[in-house]
Structure 1
Amino acid sequence: MSITTDQLRARAAGSFWLRLAAVALPPVLPLLLIAPASWNGYPLLQWDTGGYLARWYEGYLVPSRSTVFGLYLHYGENLGFWNNLAVQSLATLWLLQLTLRVLGLMQTFRFVAISLLLILSTALPWLASMLLTDIFAGLSVLSLFLLIVGGERTSLLEKISLFVFTAFAAATHSATLGVLLGLCAAGWMARPLLGRHLPIAGLAQASLTIIAGGVMLVSANHALSGQWAWTPGGYGVAFGRMMQDGIVARYLNDHCPRERYKLCPYRNELPATADEFLWGKSMFNTLGRFEGMNDEMGYIVVHSFADYPAWQAGAALRAMGQQLLHVATGEGASVWIPHTYGIIERYIPAQVAPMRAARQQNWGLDFDYVNWLHVPVALVSMLGLLALLGHALANRRLDDLTLLAAGVTLALLGNAFICGVISGPHDRYGARMVWVATFVVLIALTRRFDDDESANEVSAAA
C-alpha cells in the first residue's frame, strides 16, 4: 500500500506545526503553570499558610506546621513569594520531563502536550500557584520513583537533586513523609518478586531520603525553637476526626461518670466537625488548645481504639473511601482566611497592600466552574490507573510505566488512609495527589498512540 502525495503533504504540514509548537511553547510553560497566581495578582493563600509563615517569627512549634516549609516561605518574603512560585513551577516541569525521559518517552511535543493538558484539566497549576506544602506531595511521588528506577538513565547531579528534593518534600508535611515511607516499605517487600525492576541501590537511596527529611525537620525545629523535637499535633488531629465520627462523645459518656476529663462538662456540646472543634470558637480554646488538651486527647485516642475496635475500623475504612472521592480543587482558598491575613499584617507589613489588592482577597475566586472539569478528570484518571494495571496484569507486562502506575495507585491509597483516617476526608488532600494519576494515564495514552502509529506505518509500507 503506497502513500499518496496528498498524504505526504498533510504529514509535512502537520510536522511543521508540531515543530513550531515544540519550539515556541516550552519557554512559556513555567508561566502557564503559575497563571492562576498571575491572574490573581498575588500568590494564592490558604488557611494554613499563616501558620507556616509565622514559624520564623514566633520561635515555637505548633501542630502540623513544618518549620522546614516555614523557612522556605520566609526566604521568599522580600520578593512577594514569586520566587517560591518559580521554584514550584520549574521543579514541576523538571520532574515531568525527567519522568518521560526515564520512561524512554521524552519528546518535546509530547512533553508540551501533556503539560498543557495537566494545566487545563487538573489542580496542578493551582497547587503550583499556592503558598502551601501540597504541590510537593504529588511531586515527591515522582521524584521517589525516579530515584528508585532511574539508575544509569539519570546523571549524578540529577540523583543528588532528586534526593534533596524528596527529602525536603518529606520534611514539609507529615502526611507526605508517611506516603513516601509507605512506598519505600512496599518497594522492599516487593523486591524479592520483582528483582531487577526494583534495584537495591535505588530503594536504598529512596529510603535514605526519609531519614534525611526527618533529620532536616528536627534540625529546623531546633534551630527555630531550641527543641530537638518532631512537629507536634498528631493526636489532636486524630482526636478531631474521632469526635466527628461520634467516637469521642461515646467514650466520654461511657467514662465520665467514673473518670474525670476536662471535656466531661462539654460532652453533650461537642461540635459536629473536627474543623469547628480545632479551628473554630469551641471549648477547645477555653481548655487551652493543644497545650492544655494534648495529653487528654492522646489518652482518649489511644484508649478508644481498645474500647471500640470494630467501630474504629469501620470509621477508618469509610473515611479512606470518602477521601478517595474528595478530589475537588480549591478547598480553603475561596473562603475568608483571617489568620493568614493577620500573620501577614503582623510580620510582613510590606506585603499587605499587594495581598489585599488580589482577587482572592476580594472574593474573586470561584472553583465551581473549574471543578466541573477537574473532578470528572480526577475520578476517570483513578479508574484509568486501575485499567492500566489490569491490562498489564492480563498481558503479564511489567515495565517502568506499570511500576509507576502501581506506585501512584499505592500513593493514592496511602494518602487517603493517612489523611482520611487521621484528619478526616477533605478535597484538598485528594486534589494535591490525584493529578499524578492523570499524568500517568496521559503517558499511557500517548504511548498507545505511538504504538498504533507505528503499526499503521508498517501496514502502509507493506
Structure 2
Amino acid sequence: MGESHTSTQVLRARTAADSRSAWIAAIAIPLMLLAPALWNGYPLLQWDTGGYLARWYEGYLVPSRSTTFGLYLHFGEDSSFWLNLGINALATLWILQLTLRVFGMSQPLRLLAMSLVLVLTTSLPWLASTLLTDIFAGLSVLALFILAAHGKRTSIPEKCLLFGLIAFAAATHSATLAVLLGLCCIGWIARPFLRGRISVAGLTQGSLTLVAGAAMLLATNYALSGKLAWTPGGYGVAFGRMLQDGIVAQYLRDHCPKQNFKLCPYRDQLPATADQFLWGNSMFNRLGRFQGLNDEMSFIVLHSIAEYPAWQAKAALTATVQQLVQAGTGEGTDGWLGHTYGIVERFLPAQVKPMRAAQQQRRHFDFTAINRIHVPVALASMLLAAILFGHGVLRRRFDDLTLLAGTVTSALLGNAFICAVISGPHDRYGARMAWLATTVVLIAAIRHFTADEASRDRSLPA
C-alpha cells in the first residue's frame, strides 16, 4: 500500500514537472527564435523582401516573387509584421516538437535543449526573424517527412495543418516546390525497398500537398494580376547563372554574326556575375529588363543547353559542389537594401519610422563572428547526416533515424543542385536548409545518450 502511494506521488511530481517544463519551452523557444528581430526592434529585412511586399499593391507578376507569400506579408502589415514572425516562430516550435514526438522523444526539456543548440549554432533564429520565404523551406521538409512517414502517429487536425504548411511553403518559392517534388519522387521509388516504412497513403498525401501548393500559387497570381500564370522569371535567373559561367558570352560570340540578338552589341561588356547583370546598373536595365529580354534569354538558355551539353553539365556539377559548402548566415541582410526601403516608403509609410529606427538600418550588420560558428557546424552536420544515412543503408537498418537522415541529405543535395544550377551558388540558399542536418545530428545524439541511460538503468540491481 505504501509503495503504491509513493509511486503515485512520484508520477504526479513528474507530471507536474513536465507540465512546467512544457510551459517554459512554449514561451522560451519562440522568444529565442525571434531574438534577432527583438534585438533589432523590427523584423529583419532582406534584398528580396520589397518585391514580396509590393505584390499586393502593384497588381502584376514579377520574376521570382510569389504572390502567395506577398499576401502572407500583407496580412501582417498592421502588426508591423510581428504577426508574421510570430507565425514563423510558432510553426518552427510545432514542427520541432512534432519531430521529436514521432521519434518518441517528446520530453519538453529535450525540446528546449535541442532548440537552444539550434539557436546558438545555426541560422534558424535569423531565418525565423526575417521577412522572407526561407524559414518555410526547411520546415516543409520536416513536415513532409512527418506526413509521409509518420502519418499514423499524428491526429487528423495535425495532418491538416501539416498539409497546409507544406502546400503554403511550396507556393512561396519554386525551389522549395522543386525540392519537395524531388523528395516525393524519391519516396515513391524507394518505398518498395523500405519494408513498409512509408505507406502509400502517406506518400499520396505528401504528393497532393504539392498539387495544392501549385493551385494556391496560380490562384493568388490570378487574384492579384488577373492572369492564370506561373510566377515568371525562371529563364531569366538561369540566364544569369549561365552568363556568370561564361556560356552566354560564348553563345553570343558564336551566333551574333548570324542572329540579331539585342545583347549582341554588349557581348564583350557583359558583367562578371549574375547579380551585377540582373540587379545592378547593367545593359539589362537599358534593354527592358525581364519584359524586354525574356524571350531572348529563354531562347539562349534552351539553345545553349543543346549546343554545349558537356560545358553545361560541368558547370552544373561545379556549381552544386560550391553550393554545398556555402551556408553562411546573413546574406542579403547585411547591406544597403535600397529597393526594399523604397517599397516600404512608397506603399507602407506608417512603417518607415520604426523601420529606420531599427538596428539593421542604423548600423552595418557583420556576420563574420557568427559564421565562424555557423559555417563549421553546418558543414560538419551535413557530413554527419550523410554518414548516418550511409551507415543505416549499409547495415540495412531502415529505422526512423536512417529515413530522416536520408530525407534531409536528399533535400540538401536537391536544394544545392536546383539553386546552384538555376541561380548560382549563394550562402542564403545553403543556410536555409543546413539547420536540418544539425537537427538530425542532435536527434541521433539524444537517441544515443538516452539509449545508454536506459541500458545503465536496466543493469542496476533491483
TM-score in terms of structure 1 length: 0.95
- Following the alignment from structure 1 to structure 2, what is the Cα–Cα distance between the partners of residues 328 and 205? 34
Identify the residue that residue 220 of structure 1 maps to in structure 2.
220
Amino acid of the structure 1 residue aligned with 2:130: M
The 5 A counterparts of 1:179-218 are 179-218=179-218
- Following the alignment from structure 1 to structure 2, what is the Cα–Cα distance between the partners of residues 19 and 162? 25
- Following the alignment from structure 1 to structure 2, what is the Cα–Cα distance between the partners of residues 297 and 220? 26
Identify the residue that residue 11 of structure 1 maps to in structure 2.
none
- Bigger mean CA offset, 99-108 vs 231-240: 99-108
- Following the alignment from structure 2 to structure 1, what is the Cα–Cα distance between the partners of residues 191 and 147? 15
Mapped contact 1:334–1:363 kept (Cα < 8 A): no
- Following the alignment from structure 1 to structure 2, what is the Cα–Cα distance between the partners of residues 165 and 16? 32
Superposed CA deviations along residues 365-397 of structure 1, whole A, max 9, x for unmatched, are: 211111010001000101111221132134321
Q: Aligned-pair distance for 1:304? A: 0.3
Identify the residue that residue 305 of structure 1 maps to in structure 2.
305
Amino acid of the structure 2 residue aligned with 1:88: N
- Following the alignment from structure 1 to structure 2, what is the Cα–Cα distance between the partners of residues 72 and 213? 14
RMSD of aligned residue pairs (Cα, Å): 1.6
- Following the alignment from structure 1 to structure 2, what is the Cα–Cα distance between the partners of residues 356 and 49? 15
* 3-state secondary structure, aligned to 1:385: helix
* 3-state secondary structure, aligned to 1:461: coil
Q: Aligned-pair distance for 1:303? A: 0.3
- Following the alignment from structure 1 to structure 2, what is the Cα–Cα distance between the partners of residues 235 and 282? 18
Identify the residue that residue 242 of structure 1 maps to in structure 2.
242
Identify the residue that residue 384 of structure 2 maps to in structure 1.
384
Mapped contact 2:123–2:432 kept (Cα < 8 A): yes
TM-score in terms of structure 2 length: 0.95
Amino acid of the structure 2 residue aligned with 1:153: R
Q: Aligned-pair distance for 1:26? A: 3.4
Structure 1 unmatched runs, 5+: 1-14
- Following the alignment from structure 2 to structure 1, what is the Cα–Cα distance between the partners of residues 203 and 390? 25
Amino acid of the structure 1 residue aligned with 2:454: S
Q: Aligned-pair distance for 1:401? A: 1.7
* 3-state secondary structure, aligned to 1:196: coil
- Percent identity over the alignment is 66
Q: Aligned-pair distance for 1:114? A: 0.4
* 3-state secondary structure, aligned to 2:433: helix
Mapped contact 1:19–1:109 kept (Cα < 8 A): no
- Following the alignment from structure 2 to structure 1, what is the Cα–Cα distance between the partners of residues 458 and 50? 59
Amino acid of the structure 1 residue aligned with 2:213: G
Q: Aligned-pair distance for 1:364? A: 4.3
Q: Aligned-pair distance for 1:214? A: 0.4
Q: Aligned-pair distance for 1:18? A: 9.3
- Following the alignment from structure 2 to structure 1, what is the Cα–Cα distance between the partners of residues 17 and 34? 26
Mapped contact 2:18–2:108 kept (Cα < 8 A): no
Superposed CA deviations along residues 179-202 of structure 1, whole A, max 9, x for unmatched, are: 000000111111121241110000
- Following the alignment from structure 1 to structure 2, what is the Cα–Cα distance between the partners of residues 33 and 321? 30
- Following the alignment from structure 1 to structure 2, what is the Cα–Cα distance between the partners of residues 165 and 77? 21
Identify the residue that residue 357 of structure 2 maps to in structure 1.
357
Q: Aligned-pair distance for 1:348? A: 0.2
Q: Aligned-pair distance for 1:27? A: 1.7
Identify the residue that residue 456 of structure 2 maps to in structure 1.
456
Mapped contact 1:59–1:224 kept (Cα < 8 A): yes
* Alpha-carbon distance change, 332 to 24 in structure 1, aligned in 2, over 3 angstroms: same
* Alpha-carbon distance change, 162 to 24 in structure 1, aligned in 2, over 3 angstroms: closer
Identify the residue that residue 81 of structure 2 maps to in structure 1.
81
Amino acid of the structure 1 residue aligned with 2:173: H
Superposed CA deviations along residues 299-341 of structure 1, whole A, max 9, x for unmatched, are: 0000001111000000000000000001000000001010000
Q: Aligned-pair distance for 1:21? A: 5.7
Identify the residue that residue 4 of structure 2 maps to in structure 1.
none
Q: Aligned-pair distance for 1:213? A: 0.3
Superposed CA deviations along residues 27-77 of structure 1, whole A, max 9, x for unmatched, are: 221111101000001000000000000000000000000000000000111
Identify the residue that residue 324 of structure 2 maps to in structure 1.
324
Aligned residues: 449
Mapped contact 2:335–2:364 kept (Cα < 8 A): no
Superposed CA deviations along residues 390-449 of structure 1, whole A, max 9, x for unmatched, are: 321343211122111101100000000100011000000000011011001100011000
- Following the alignment from structure 1 to structure 2, what is the Cα–Cα distance between the partners of residues 223 and 389? 43
- Following the alignment from structure 2 to structure 1, what is the Cα–Cα distance between the partners of residues 262 and 390? 52
Structure 2 unmatched runs, 5+: 1-14
Q: Aligned-pair distance for 1:149? A: 1.4
* 3-state secondary structure, aligned to 1:258: coil
Amino acid of the structure 2 residue aligned with 1:104: G
Q: Aligned-pair distance for 1:17? A: 9.8
- Following the alignment from structure 1 to structure 2, what is the Cα–Cα distance between the partners of residues 155 and 61? 38
Mapped contact 1:408–1:436 kept (Cα < 8 A): yes
Identify the residue that residue 37 of structure 2 maps to in structure 1.
37
